[in-house]
Structure 1
Amino acid sequence: MKVARFYAPGDIRIEEAPEPSPGPDEVKIRVHACSTCGTDLKIFRHGHHHIDPPRVIGHEIAGEVVETGAEISGWEAGDRVQVIAAIPCGECADCRRGWRTICPNQLSMGYHFDGGFAEYMIVPQRVLRVDGLNRIPEGLSYAEASVAEPLACVLNGQEFAQVGEGDVVVVTGAGPIGCLHVRLARARGAAAVYLVELNRGRLDMAADIVKPDAVICGSETDPVQAVLDLTDGRGADVIITAAAAGKAQEDGLKMAARRGRISFFGGLPKDNPIIACDSNLVHYRELTIYGANGSSPEHNKRALELIATGAVPVDDLITHRLKLDGVLDAIDTVASGEAIKVTIEPAAS
């Protein structure tokens, strides 16, 4: 079978590998769709401290069960499934409190285990024991199901920041995550959603699909003043920084209304993680700053339902579909900013 293996920064190889066999407590799937994300680009450029190469990467996975181990029950060949990416241990103090997104023992598909840029892959027992293999609802395509993983992360962030009815929401970053934030905020009852992005072409492409209530190009205007103008000086109830930029986080504090919530959804580069925070803004306006770290198995299940019911459409966000041989082209396309979502379809190889 074909796989895409990461060996070192700048070195991902499409090569032949033996088809895997499941252990007694594992499930083997044929991968029909594995969507790419910005993390795949980071891995390609810089590697990752959790990856011990060579490793098959890809973590937004949907496929079809083809074989189960002798100890497996409840799954059989032909079942259509989506696989979680972040795998909590389910046993630590944080997991027992229901905080599975911050499990200190978390492992990940495509990092600690071979991922979805392959024709076939093994779903490890670690995934199964936390109920991390999900049935794809009837009528949902594999490509759409693969987007459940990033939507699950978005769902975690918005639930934590309590996005809800009547909120004015600002989303900074017009990539796939930003687009999902726009749509989920609408589904959660936001009164208005504004999209901020530095790159005019990327902003226009995203806005044409998700149609925010207003667009703000940060390279052409001051986004803080633009949000204040749009809200008659009040500011936004929720600001979600879906961009790896310290300035976006700093601006988020400045454009927040009193009692506003700011979600630092996008992490910052490890060599430059410090921002300037006006503590008096937080103090006098009673602002709340939230982190956002991945998703839980439960978030993945609910994300699939949101997509299947049409509450958060994703099919039109998949702007490019490539075969497994096109993984490097997919990563280049992600880097160029010319796509919203790029999906690899190994079963079509």
Structure 2
Amino acid sequence: MRAARFHGEGRITVEEAAEPAPSAGEVTVRVVACALCGSDLRPLRRGWPFAPGHEIAGRVDQPGHAQHGQRVAVYIPVFCGRCEACTRGRTHLCESSRELVGWQRPGGYAEAVAVPERCLLPLPDDVPDHLAPLLLDTIGTTAHGVRLAHRLVQGGPALVLGAGPIGLGAILVLRRMGFGPISVVDPVAYRSGFAATLGAAPISPEAAASGRYALVVEATGKDAARQVALEAVGVEGVILQLGESDAWSVTETRSIRLKDFFLLRSFYFPIGDYAANLELLRADRADYARLVDDRAGLDGLEGLFAAFARGEKLKPVLAPGR
């Protein structure tokens, strides 16, 4: 089969690789779509030992298996199903395995990938291949975080910091869950302009920091955005941290110190959220479809990533068969 190799410094080649060799309890999935994610900019910069890619949709290719031929999305945490976290439904927080498909094991920037059976999420016929990956990070990760925040704040003005795929997904989820008005901060005109078409008002970081928001979604992983989040959150409001970074540093100011607020960190989503995430996609399908603004085959992946890294694409998708 063919698979992408990430060499670092933005260089990607497509090479012949061995076919997946599924272990017991695993199957081969032929990849039909794998969405690009901002977190994949790390392997793009640093290089990676195997093909990354963690927002995968495909078809089970395991003759004789009960799910052979079935269309699926891939749940990336390789959970055990037995530990306390799993038995309580928190499969994304499995205590026995911290492996993630596309990170600690080969992912979807390839023609095929080996996937644990319990990580197969059946795709209904009304979800097309190119939109299926949105059920994972763009909807799944953001919706889980907003659901957690909803336990503390049930509505009100919201601020989204970063209009990449997670930030744009957050705008749609916030809108559907009754938050508003929604403001957004992003320095890239293309992304902030698109956010405006979803109903979020683009504002400056300075204007955001002087606001008082019931819910602030930090979707960049950047120190500057985290500083704004701490300044912008209102009394007894919530900061939902979705952006990732290796380390972070902020300055505690007087306006931060003299208020009560909640800081909430959220990671991915429990597998039990899948049905609800499907309903979110169905409810706002036309807007989610607009996020997928480009598609390419494996030979076009390097160019697709270059445009994505420059902020010229919102949620491009690799389609290995193109």
User: What is the CA distance between 1:135 and its match in structure 2?
Assistant: 1.1
- 292, 299, 302: which is aligned to 1:318? 292
- 5 Å-filtered alignment, 1:28-107, equals 28-47=28-47, 53=49, 55-68=50-63, 72-73=65-66, 75-77=67-69, 79-104=70-95, 105-107=97-99
Is 1:136 aligned to 2:127, yes or no?
Answer: no
Is 1:170 aligned to 2:159, yes or no?
Answer: yes
Structure 2 distance, partners of 1:137, 1:146, is 13
User: What is the CA distance between 1:108 and its match in structure 2?
Assistant: 0.9
User: What is the CA distance between 1:206 and its match in structure 2?
Assistant: 3.3
Tell me if structure 1 keeps the 8 A contact 2:222–2:248: no
Is 1:186 aligned to 2:175, yes or no?
Answer: yes
**Per-residue Cα deviation, 1:71-121 (whole angstroms, up to 9, x for no partner):** x44x132x1110012333333444344443333532111122221111222
Structure 2 distance, partners of 1:14, 1:43, is 15
* Secondary structure in 1 matching 2:237: strand
Percent identity of the aligned residues?
A: 28
> Partner of 1:204 in structure 2?
193
User: What is the CA distance between 1:181 and its match in structure 2?
Assistant: 0.3
User: What is the CA distance between 1:205 and its match in structure 2?
Assistant: 3.4
Distance of aligned partners of 1:301 and 1:108 in 2 relative to their CA distance in 1, 3 Å threshold:
farther
> Partner of 1:25 in structure 2?
25
Structure 2 distance, partners of 1:278, 1:296, is 35
User: What is the CA distance between 1:136 and its match in structure 2?
Assistant: 1.0
Structure 2 distance, partners of 1:201, 1:29, is 34
Amino acid at match of 1:134: L
User: What is the CA distance between 1:5 and its match in structure 2?
Assistant: 2.3
- Pairwise CA RMSD of aligned residues? 2.4
Distance of aligned partners of 1:296 and 1:87 in 2 relative to their CA distance in 1, 3 Å threshold:
farther
> Partner of 2:208 in structure 1?
223
Amino acid at match of 2:218: T
Structure 1, gaps ≥5 residues long: 229-234
Distance of aligned partners of 1:106 and 1:312 in 2 relative to their CA distance in 1, 3 Å threshold:
farther
Tell me if structure 1 keeps the 8 A contact 2:298–2:318: yes
Structure 2 distance, partners of 1:301, 1:85, is 16
Tell me if structure 2 keeps the 8 A contact 1:165–1:191: no
Structure 2, gaps ≥5 residues long: none
> Partner of 1:195 in structure 2?
184
- 5 Å-filtered alignment, 1:327-342, equals 327-342=301-316
Normalising by structure 1, report the TM-score. Answer: 0.83
Amino acid at match of 1:223: A
User: What is the CA distance between 1:203 and its match in structure 2?
Assistant: 1.2
Amino acid at match of 1:58: G
User: What is the CA distance between 1:247 and its match in structure 2?
Assistant: 2.2
Distance of aligned partners of 1:286 and 1:202 in 2 relative to their CA distance in 1, 3 Å threshold:
same
* Secondary structure in 1 matching 2:317: strand
Count residues with an aligned counterpart: 319
Tell me if structure 1 keeps the 8 A contact 2:231–2:255: no
Tell me if structure 1 keeps the 8 A contact 2:77–2:119: no
Is 1:276 aligned to 2:251, yes or no?
Answer: yes
Amino acid at match of 1:132: C
**Per-residue Cα deviation, 1:207-229 (whole angstroms, up to 9, x for no partner):** 23x231x21133xx54223xx3x
- 5 Å-filtered alignment, 1:251-290, equals 251-268=228-245, 270=246, 272-278=247-253, 281=256, 285-290=259-264
> Partner of 1:153 in structure 2?
141
> Partner of 1:303 in structure 2?
277
Normalising by structure 2, report the TM-score. Answer: 0.89
**Per-residue Cα deviation, 1:138-183 (whole angstroms, up to 9, x for no partner):** 2111111111111211112111211765321111101111100000
> Partner of 1:118 in structure 2?
110
**Per-residue Cα deviation, 1:234-258 (whole angstroms, up to 9, x for no partner):** x110001111222222222222222
Tell me if structure 2 keeps the 8 A contact 1:156–1:292: yes
Tell me if structure 2 keeps the 8 A contact 1:171–1:178: yes
Is 1:247 aligned to 2:238, yes or no?
Answer: no
* Secondary structure in 1 matching 2:321: helix
